[in-house]
């Protein structure tokens, strides 16, 4: 609700700028042509991932992770980390924050393990793992358009080195800080199942899943992923997948099809934010940012640009930070540095990325207490090191 209110206020401010003549109507039309397909993609992928979750696909993976971990927490943690990276890369960071977080918490609890290492891994990799493909983050989709609509493979080639560095650093930090926890072992039989058997009750999760929905979701996902990186506009296959899944659910589980599957608040927020940031561009914001972010492609300039994006993200949010600094990039390498800042940098403040807020909301609903103070302290250590390592990797690969 708060996101919708903020979005409505931003949209009203943008409309006022148009009516006042600050923002030309022609520029608004160009903005709609640019971001319209992106917002359609965001809406469609949200519907797809929500229906995949409803079909039980994510839970199916979670149950197997507990088994594949073979009773060792470190193995289970690495499996969760790999899955978090995969969902972030191919289904976006918000998907990881919203759908993977409750599954990860449930897996940790069922294994009788501490939740914190798994929860931090999820949110950090949701952010830092979103550098590789255009579909991984809304900022990447915007950057892809600015770079002339380069193919996903070309985008991945540009971002591969910094993306790898941005994943490794948070994992190293968690591996060091939680090394005692990660050395623990767990029973491969779920704690809740043991307690149910002892109490003479039916084990949880014993109710059969709808195999048609599960199989349909798996097939749709298997077809969708290669199409998302094929080079065609991503809103086309994502919309098609949403329609197919909705059709299956219409037959098998109609009650799951509600208007709330569409992220209305997020779409309203993004639309308002785009209008406001386009207005600031007309008011001269790029000239100010040029002085802060530099203009060259040397290591120092790339670090300045990435730091500008990271600081702006933690002060405001990563999306406005990207939109404000986008005009001062000027080259693929500088664009990559900005993405490092706005994707891997928002690890300190809760509002730095929408994914972090969504992640915390899910934790609260599951009675997992993580204080923002502790989160900020850890983030203040991890974020600068991650951004530095990713920029160094970028410079090395570009040179």
pLDDT top residue among 226 and 388:
388
- Which of 46-85 are b and which e, b meaning 16 or more Cβ less than 10 Å from the residue's Cβ? bbbbbbbbbbbbbbebbbebbeebeeebbebbbbbbebbb
Structure confidence at residue 208 as a pLDDT band (50, 70, 90): low
Tell me, what's the pLDDT at 190? 59
Section 292-311 average pLDDT: 88
Confidence of residue 110 (pLDDT cuts 50, 70, 90): confident
Give residue-wise pLDDT tens across range 228-264.
Answer: 888 888 899 999 999 999 999 999 999 999 998 998 8
pLDDT at 195: 44
Query: Among 24-33, 37-46, 307-316, 379-388, which range has the highest average pLDDT?
Result: 379-388
Minimum mean pLDDT range among 80-94, 265-279, 375-389: 265-279
- Over residues 271-300, the mean pLDDT reads 78
The pLDDT confidence band at residue 198, using thresholds 50, 70 and 90, is: very low
What digits encode the pLDDT tens for the residues 53-90? 899 888 888 788 888 888 999 999 999 999 999 999 99
pLDDT grade for 206, boundaries at 50, 70 and 90: very low
Gap between the Cα atoms of 113 and 180, Å rounded: 12
| Residues 273 and 320 sit within 8 Å (Cβ to Cβ) | yes
Indicate if the pLDDT at residue 302 is higher than 60: yes
Is the separation of the CB atoms in 22 and 285 below 8 Å? no
| CA distances in angstroms from 175 to 59, 113, 172, 393, listed in the order given | 25, 15, 5, 21
Number of structural domains, the chain?
1
**CA angle 42-51-32, nearest 5°?**
15
Whole-number pLDDT of residue 202: 44
pLDDT at 4 over 70: yes
**Residue 205's pLDDT band (cuts 50, 70, 90):** very low
What gap in Å lies between CA 293 and CA 301, rounded to an integer?
A: 7
- Under 8 Å CB-to-CB from 82, ≥6 apart: which residues? none
User: Greater confidence, 378 or 351?
Assistant: 378
- Residue 189: the pLDDT is 66
Give the total residue count for the chain. 399
Where does the pLDDT of residue 99 fall: very low under 50, low under 70, confident under 90, or very high at 90 and above?
Answer: confident
Distance CA 137, CA 139 (A): 5
CA distance 376 to 325: 24
Q: Give the domain range for residue 66.
A: 2-398
Rg of the Cα trace of the chain? 21
Kindly report which listed range (66-70, 108-112, 205-209, 238-242) carries the lowest average pLDDT score: 205-209
pLDDT greater at residue 46 or residue 156: 156
What's the confidence (pLDDT) of residue 203? 43
Check residues 28 and 277 and name the one with the higher pLDDT. Answer: 28
pLDDT exceeds cutoff 90 at 172: yes
Query: Does residue 56 come out as left (phi exceeding 0), alpha (psi in the -120 to 50 range) or beta?
Result: left
pLDDT computed for residue 386 by the predictor: 98
pLDDT at 194 over 50: no
The 3-state secondary structure of the chain, one letter per residue? CHHHHHHHHHHHHHHHHHHCCCCCHHHHHHHHHHHHHHHHHHHHHHHHHHHHHHHCHHHHHHHHHHHHCCCEHHHHHHHHHHHHHHHHHHHCHHHHHHHHHHHHHHHHHHCCCCCHHHHHHHHHHHHHCCCCCHHHCHHHHHHHHHCCCCCHHHHHHHHHHHHHHHHHHHHHHHHHHCHHHHCCECCCCCHHHHHHHHCCCCCCCCCCCCHHHHHHHHHHHHHHHHHHCCCCCCHHHHHHHHHHHHHHHHHHCHHHCCHHHCCHHHHHHHHHHHHHHHHHHHCCHHHHHHHHHCCCCCHHHHHHHHHHHHHHHHHCCHHHHHHHHHHHCCCHHHHHHHHHHHHHCCCCCCCCCHHHHHHHHHHHHCCCCCCHHHHHHHHHHHHHHHHHHHHHHHHHHHC
What does each C-alpha distance from 13 to 23, 29, 259, 312, 398 come to in angstroms?
A: 11, 17, 27, 21, 40
Task: Give the residue from 155, 145, 91, 136 showing the smallest Cα distance to 344.
Answer: 136
Most confident of 103-107, 206-210, 276-280: 103-107
Task: Output the pLDDT for position 34.
Answer: 84
Q: Is pLDDT of 204 > 60? A: no
* Residue 215 pLDDT class (50, 70, 90 cuts): very high
User: Which pLDDT does position 1 carry in this prediction?
Assistant: 65
41-49 average pLDDT score: 88
Most confident of 23-27, 57-61, 114-118: 114-118
């Amino acid at each position: 609700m708060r996101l919708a209110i903020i979005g409505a206020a931003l949209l009203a401010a943008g409309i006022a700028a148009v009516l006042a003549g600050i923002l030309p109507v022609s520029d608004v039309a160009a903005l709609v042509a640019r971001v319209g397909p992106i917002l359609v993609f965001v809406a469609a992928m949200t519907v797809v991932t929500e229906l995949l979750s409803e079909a039980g696909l994510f839970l199916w993976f979670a149950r197997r992770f507990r088994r594949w971990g073979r009773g060792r927490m470190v193995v289970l943690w690495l499996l969760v980390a790999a899955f978090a990276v995969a969902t972030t890369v191919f289904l976006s960071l918000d998907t990881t924050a919203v759908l993977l977080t409750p599954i990860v918490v449930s897996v940790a609890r069922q294994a009788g393990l501490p939740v914190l290492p798994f929860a931090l891994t999820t949110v950090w990799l949701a952010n830092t793992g979103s550098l590789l493909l255009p579909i991984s983050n809304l900022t990447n989709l915007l950057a892809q358009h600015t770079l002339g609509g380069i193919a996903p493979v070309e985008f991945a080639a540009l971002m591969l080195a910094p993306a790898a560095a941005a994943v490794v650093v948070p994992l190293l930090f968690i591996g060091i800080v939680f090394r005692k926890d990660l050395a623990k072992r767990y029973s491969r039989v779920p704690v809740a199942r043991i307690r149910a058997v002892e109490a003479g009750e039916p084990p949880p999760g014993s109710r059969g899943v709808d195999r048609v929905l599960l199989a349909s979701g798996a097939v749709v996902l298997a077809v969708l992923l290669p199409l998302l990186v094929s080079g065609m506009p991503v809103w086309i296959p994502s919309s098609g997948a949403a329609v197919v899944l909705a059709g299956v659910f219409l037959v098998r589980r109609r009650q799951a099809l509600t208007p709330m599957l569409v992220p209305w608040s997020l779409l309203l927020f993004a639309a308002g934010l785009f209008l406001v940031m386009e207005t600031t561009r007309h008011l001269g914001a790029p000239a100010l940012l040029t002085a802060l972010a530099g203009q060259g492609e040397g290591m120092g300039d790339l670090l300045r640009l990435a730091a500008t994006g990271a600081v702006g993200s933690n002060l405001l949010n990563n999306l406005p930070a990207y939109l404000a600094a986008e005009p001062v990039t000027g080259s693929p390498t500088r664009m990559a540095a900005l993405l490092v800042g706005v994707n891997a940098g928002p690890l300190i403040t809760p509002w730095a990325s929408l994914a972090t807020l969504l992640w915390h909301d899910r934790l609260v609903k599951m009675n997992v207490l993580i204080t923002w103070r502790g989160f900020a302290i850890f983030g203040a250590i991890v974020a600068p090191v991650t951004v530095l390592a990713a920029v160094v990797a970028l410079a090395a690969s570009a040179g």
